[in-house]
Amino acid sequence: MNGAISCHISLKFNRFPWHKFATGAESVIRYPEFIPDRKAPRKEAGYFMNSLVIRGGQRLTGEIEVSGSKNIALAILSSVVLAEEPVVLKNVPKISDTLIKTHLLEVFGAKIVWDGDNLHIDCSELKAGDADEEMVRSIRTSFYMIGPLLARIGKLDMPAPGGCKIGARPVDLHLKGLAALGANIELDGGVYRAFSDKLRGTEVYLDKPSAGATQHIMSTASLAQGTTTITNAAMEPEIVALGHFLNRIGANIEGLGTSVITIQGKQSLSGGTYKIPADRIQAGTFLLAGAITGGDVKVNDILPEDQTAVVNKLREAGAMIETGADFVRVAAPSRLNHVHVVTMPHPGFPTDIQQPMAATLCMADGLSYIEETIYESRIGHIMELNRMGAKITQNGRTANIEGVNELRGATVYASDLRAGAALCLAGLVAHGETVVKNIHYIDRGYESIEKTLQSLGADITRVMDSEPQKVL
């Protein structure tokens, strides 16, 4: 995969047992761009893949629910190996990332059974599996399995991680924390080789509140002897949910949602049942879809507090916001006002929403600013939005967005998951037809995004390309 965007799922995965994930009449083979059928038509230039065709101009209205959280599901799937008894996860999104993660669990000896959106996992007989490099590189959170696996089996090899190409995401905080717990980890030719005789509780200070490092260290410490304290811990809802799951299966974790988390290590963890909460990033995306179209969208069965930063900016921009115990409603005027957005760790404005927010502000009056403080290269959407008639200039990590009267339909290419979502939002208001390609990125985090948007009145269709695309 040299020179490739590491977020892409390798076409070498023809041995991936997709047939195991079929549920009733529906099968995950509906993601042909990930694992092309060996018998499917192809040319030397590339592979036939899906695109989204959007005819803009529809005002979105209605009520929806969103699927389970991608990020929470991936965090729990990294930590589920800690459980010595069966675990049932409910409301698991059946997206490419979760499918790959479950296959990786099988490599290390887990038994996996899908039943609709319920996932049955038995990690009672783990082994030091031989993880495929291309599979591991396709999903960054594979790296987060090192600590929990080490706590269970004492020794393993794991290829270096991949993920969407949105900037540097170093793992040094993970490695420092795991070393403090007693792990020995070396990078040898692109493979992390890890072993440990015994993990012991300790004090860990994070130089910055990394969500990934907090998750990784917290879960690993659940089986370390003694007490572990993580100071300057991240406070994202995904960490709180992971902690709740770990406590459900017998861990003893306190301080969730604060900057200091304390873990009392246990000799073993059992099993249990846990429901994955709704995806806050999906919810925010669809609320913005309502806002950009001057529509009226209500998202049900969510935690409204997870949308605080987004709805406050939409309110500032002139939208009407209504919240209840488990819903958020956004009713927007035909034109929003300009706003200034700065991405920050939770409870600040989420970095995963800044690209869809950028698309929304393209149709706002005046000059808006979005400052990205988390990832330095989360800019793949800018050039594509400008091809549609947007006026966005970049100054360092700040995007200056001058509102325009109209966006124009065009053929555009998603460069990562959230950039793809941003292009879909732009297509909803663009004059004419927009074709979004590289939607395998979108499928990493949105389960059939077109169906949800269709339910709100959008004119959007998933189609098979007539010409093969090169794999990026």
Answer yes or no: are the C-beta atoms of 314 and 291 closer than 8 Å: yes
Torsion angle of alpha carbons 98, 100, 103, 107, nearest 10°?
-120
CA distance 295 to 61: 5
CA distance 420 to 440: 9
CA distance 118 to 89: 6
The two tokens of residue 45 are: 């230039």
Q: Which of 7, 123, 164, 362 is catalytic?
A: 164
7 is catalytic: no
Identify the three-state secondary structure at position 466.
coil
Per the listing, tokens 């958020």 go with 328
CA distance 285 to 314: 12
The pairing of strands 340-342 and 367-371 is parallel
The two tokens of residue 450 are: 């077109």
Per the listing, tokens 């929403």 go with 353
**Rg of the chain taking only CA atoms, in angstroms:** 22
Cβ neighbours of residue 13 closer than 8 Å, sequence gap 6 or more = 34, 35, 132, 134, 135
| Rounded to 5°, angle at Cα 139 from 83 and 198 | 40
Identify the three-state secondary structure at position 315.
helix
CA distance 292 to 280: 18
Answer yes or no: are the C-beta atoms of 176 and 149 closer than 8 Å: no
DSSP element (H, E) containing 127: none
Identify the three-state secondary structure at position 116.
coil
Active site residue ranges: 164
